[in-house]
A and B are shown apart, each in its own frame.
Chain A
Amino acid sequence: MNKTMCTYAVALVASMALIGLSGCSKKSVQSGGDSQSTQGTAKGGGAGGYPDTGVQSGGGGLRGLDKNPSEERVGSGTMLAKVDPSSNAGRQLDEIRAEQAASAAAGLRDVFFAYDSWTISEEGRQALSRDAEWIKSNPNVSLKVEGHCDERGTSAYNLVLGEKRAKAARNYLVELGVGANRLSVVSYGKERPTCSEHAESCYQQNRRGHIVVKSGK
C-alpha cells in the first residue's frame, strides 16, 4: 500500500468507526478512550459504517386544514439526544492546564503577527530563536504550534489564516534546526482568543503563534 493510498485509508478507517484495517500503521485509528459513542453501528451504511444522508420523506409533514379536524398529537419536534456536559469538559480542562503549566515552565514565547499577515517579524524571529534553543535542549518533548487570529474577518477564513501563521512559525523553527517531527501544527482561527475586547490592543495579542508543550501522547 503506497503512501497516498494509506492517507486515504486513514480517512476510511476513521469513517468506518474504528474497524481495524491492516496495512496501515495503528496511528490511523482515532482516539478510543472517549466515553461518547464513536461506535458507528449504523444501519444501512454498508462498509462505510455511517447511515445515508440523502433526502428522505419527512414524517412530520403538514396534513392541511380540515373542516372537521381530528386531534393531532404534537410531540417534541427535535428528538434531541441528551448530552452530559460534565463528561469530557473536566478531562479537557485538566489536560489544557497541564499543557499551560508545562509551556509556562519552559518559558516558551509567542510570535505575533500583523493584521491579515503570516509573515514573521524580526521580533518574532528572536522569540522563536529562544524557543528553538529550549526545544533543542529538551529532545524528548513533543510540541504543538497553534495559530490564532483576532476577531475580525470570518471564522472560516481565519482558520486558514491561523494555519498559515502556525506553519510559518513551525517552518522557522525547523530552519533553526528543530526536528519537524516534533512539531505538530493546529489552527484555532479566532475561536480561542486570549482577550475579547474590540480594540487593537487586544487584537494584537490574539494574532499569534503559540507554542505548547504537549501533555501525554
Chain B
Amino acid sequence: MRQAKLISVWVGGALLLAGAVGILESGASDVFLEATRPDFQKISLGIAGIQNGGGPDWLGGRIEEVLKKDVKRSLVFDLVDLPSLGIATSDIGNGTGNGSKAVFKQVAEKGVSVLVWGKAALKEAQKDADVNMEGFVYDSGSDEVVGGKRYAGSPSVVRLMAHRFVDELVFRYTGEPGIARTKIAYVAQQGAARELFVMDYDGYDARQLTADGFLNLMPQWSPDRRFIVFTSYRDRHTQNIDMIELATGKRWTLISLGGLNITPALSPDGNFLAFASSHEGNSELYRLDTRTKAIQRLTVNPSGDLSPSWSPNGRDLVFVSDRGGGPQLFLMGSDGTNVRRLTFEGDYNAAPAWSPRGNWIAYVCRTQKEYKLCVISPDGQKRMQLTTGPGVDDSPSWSPDGRHLVFSSTADGKSHIYMIDADGKDIERLTFQGTHNSAPSWSPAS
C-alpha cells in the first residue's frame, strides 16, 4: 500500500517534470540547443564556386547563388567572402591535388572552418536534359575533405539540389535537418478569388493548390507534410474546414458545423484538430479527435475564442479570446482545463504561433495603431516587439528550426509575405507577384 502510494507520487512528479522540460526545450538534443543560443558562434564557411563540368555558363553561378542564400538563411554558418580574405580558389580542382592542398592551407590559416566547392554539368544531348551536380566539403578543423554529394535530376530541380546540399551541411554540423527544403503554404488573390498556394521557403516555385473560385483561408500543415487543413467557402455561403492531400489534390471536409469554422490547427502528433466554430452561438474552441471523429468543446464563454496554436509537446494551447474586451492571448491545457491569460500589454494581441522549441509564442500586437509582430515567453516573463513601422503584419508562422518567422505585411502597400529572423533582424521579402499574398504557414522539416 505504502509502496503503491510512493510510486504514484513519483510517477506524478516525473510527468510534471517532463511537462516542464517539454515546454522549455521540446526534447531537443544538446547540439540543437547550442545552435539556438543567442551567443551561438556561427561556423565560418566559404564557397569556392561551382565549376563548369560541361554545359551552359549560367548553371554554376545559379547553383552558387542558391547555396549562398541558403547558407546565410541557415543562421548556422557565417558566409565569408574568400577573395576579400585573399584566398584564391581557382586551383581547388577535385580536392585531391597539390593545388587543392594549397587552397586548404590558406583557408585554415585564415580561420575559415568549412570550405565548399563543386561542379555542375548539363547534358542536353540526351532526350531528357539532365543536370549533374557535385558538392564537396573541406573541414579545416580536421584538415580533411569530409565528404560530398552527387545529385542528378532534371533542370527544373537545380534549386532543389542546392537546397538539399545545404541541408546536408546543416545536418553535418548541427544534427538538424535544415530548412532549405521546407515549403510555405499561403493564400493568394486569383482574380476575384483567394486560393491556396505552396512555394519553396525562399519564395520560388509557387504552385496553386485550390481552384474553387471563391475564398480559401488559413492553411496549416499536417505534421507529416502530406496535408494542408484550411477554411474553405466552397459554396460561398458556408464555411467548412477542409483538408487537401498535396500529392493527389484529394480533398475532405473535416468540419461542417455551420457558422464560422476557422483557424484549424493539427496537434504535433496529428491526432487532434483544434479549431474555432460558432455553430453553438459565438466562436468557441473545439477539438476533433481525428481517429474517433469525436468533437470536444474546449471553451465555454460568451466571448469570441479563436486561433488555437499547439505547444510542441501537444499538452497546451495558446489562443485568442476577447473575453476581456479586446483580443488577448490565453493559455490552456489541450483538453480545455486551466485557462489563464498570457498577454496584458496593449489592447489587441492576436494570431499566436507557438515556436517549435516551445520557448516563444509569436503573435500580432497592436502598438501605436499599427499591427506588428511580437514574441512572448509562455510564462509571460519575456516580451519583445520584432517589427516596427507602418502596415498590418499578420499570421506569423515559425520555421521548423525556430530561427525564423514568416508573416504577411502591408508594409510595402499590398499584402506580401516576408521572412524575419526570430530576433527581429534581417527581414526578407518572399513574394513579389500578384495583388494579395497572406496567411503563410511554414511546413515542418522533412
Interface residues of A (CB under 8 A from B): 7-8, 10-12, 14-15, 17, 30-31, 34, 36-38, 40, 42, 47-56, 58, 60-67, 69-93, 95-96, 116, 144, 151-157, 159-160, 163-164, 184-188, 191-192, 196, 198, 214
Instruction: Please indicate the chain A residues that have their CB under 8 angstroms from the CB of B27 in the complex.
Output: none
Contacting residue for A56 out of B224, B249, B351, CB 8 A: B224
> Does B183 sit within 8 A of A, measured CB to CB?
yes
Chain B min CB distance to A17 (Å): 6
Stretch of B8-16, B51-59, B102-110, B263-271 that contacts chain A:
B263-271
Q: List 11 A-B contacts (CB under 8 A).
A: A15-B255, A30-B256, A52-B290, A53-B270, A58-B224, A62-B168, A63-B168, A73-B152, A79-B247, A85-B195, A160-B306
Q: Which of A7, A14, A40 has the most CB of B within 10 A?
A: A14
Q: Evaluate contact between B243 and A17: CB separation under 8 angstroms.
A: no
Which residue of chain B has its CB nearest to the CB of A147?
B260
Q: Evaluate contact between A163 and B213: CB separation under 8 angstroms.
A: no
User: In the complex, A96→B233 CA distance in Å?
Assistant: 13
Contacting residue for B209 out of A72, A83, A95, CB 8 A: A83
Instruction: Please indicate the chain A residues that have their CB under 8 angstroms from the CB of B351 in the complex.
Output: 154-157
> Does B235 sit within 8 A of A, measured CB to CB?
yes
> Does B148 sit within 8 A of A, measured CB to CB?
yes
Are A81 and B248 also in contact (CB < 8 A) when A31-B234, A153-B371 are? yes
Which residue of chain A has its CB nearest to the CB of B366?
A153
Instruction: Please indicate the chain A residues that have their CB under 8 angstroms from the CB of B257 in the complex.
Output: 7, 10-11
Are A192 and B215 also in contact (CB < 8 A) when A72-B151, A151-B410 are? yes
Q: Evaluate contact between A163 and B260: CB separation under 8 angstroms.
A: yes
> Does B251 sit within 8 A of A, measured CB to CB?
yes
Instruction: Please indicate the chain B residues that have their CB under 8 angstroms from the CB of A144 in the complex.
Output: 237
> Does B342 sit within 8 A of A, measured CB to CB?
no
Q: Evaluate contact between B213 and A93: CB separation under 8 angstroms.
A: yes
Instruction: Please indicate the chain A residues that have their CB under 8 angstroms from the CB of B304 in the complex.
Output: 157, 160, 164
Q: Evaluate contact between B327 and A152: CB separation under 8 angstroms.
A: no
Chain A min CB distance to B8 (Å): 30
> Does B160 sit within 8 A of A, measured CB to CB?
yes
User: In the complex, A25→B211 CA distance in Å?
Assistant: 29
Q: How large is the interface on B (under 10, 10 to 19, 20 to 34, 35 or more residues)?
A: 35 or more
Near A by CB (< 8 A), chain B positions 240-266 give 240, 243, 245-260, 262-263, 266
User: In the complex, A12→B210 CA distance in Å?
Assistant: 23
User: In the complex, A49→B295 CA distance in Å?
Assistant: 16
Q: Evaluate contact between A88 and B371: CB separation under 8 angstroms.
A: no
User: In the complex, A135→B106 CA distance in Å?
Assistant: 84
User: In the complex, A87→B222 CA distance in Å?
Assistant: 27
User: In the complex, A180→B171 CA distance in Å?
Assistant: 60
> Does B397 sit within 8 A of A, measured CB to CB?
no
Q: Evaluate contact between B213 and A89: CB separation under 8 angstroms.
A: yes
User: In the complex, A191→B218 CA distance in Å?
Assistant: 11
User: In the complex, A153→B415 CA distance in Å?
Assistant: 13
Q: Evaluate contact between A87 and B211: CB separation under 8 angstroms.
A: yes
Q: Evaluate contact between B168 and A65: CB separation under 8 angstroms.
A: yes
> Does B416 sit within 8 A of A, measured CB to CB?
no
Chain A min CB distance to B157 (Å): 5
User: In the complex, A117→B306 CA distance in Å?
Assistant: 18
> Does B323 sit within 8 A of A, measured CB to CB?
no
User: In the complex, A71→B132 CA distance in Å?
Assistant: 9
Which residue of chain B has its CB nearest to the CB of A16?
B293
Given A30-B240, A60-B181, A71-B151: 10 more A-B contacts, CB < 8 Å: A40-B252, A53-B222, A53-B224, A78-B246, A85-B190, A91-B213, A92-B236, A95-B236, A153-B350, A160-B276
Q: Evaluate contact between A88 and B295: CB separation under 8 angstroms.
A: no
Contacting residue for B149 out of A30, A69, A91, CB 8 A: A69
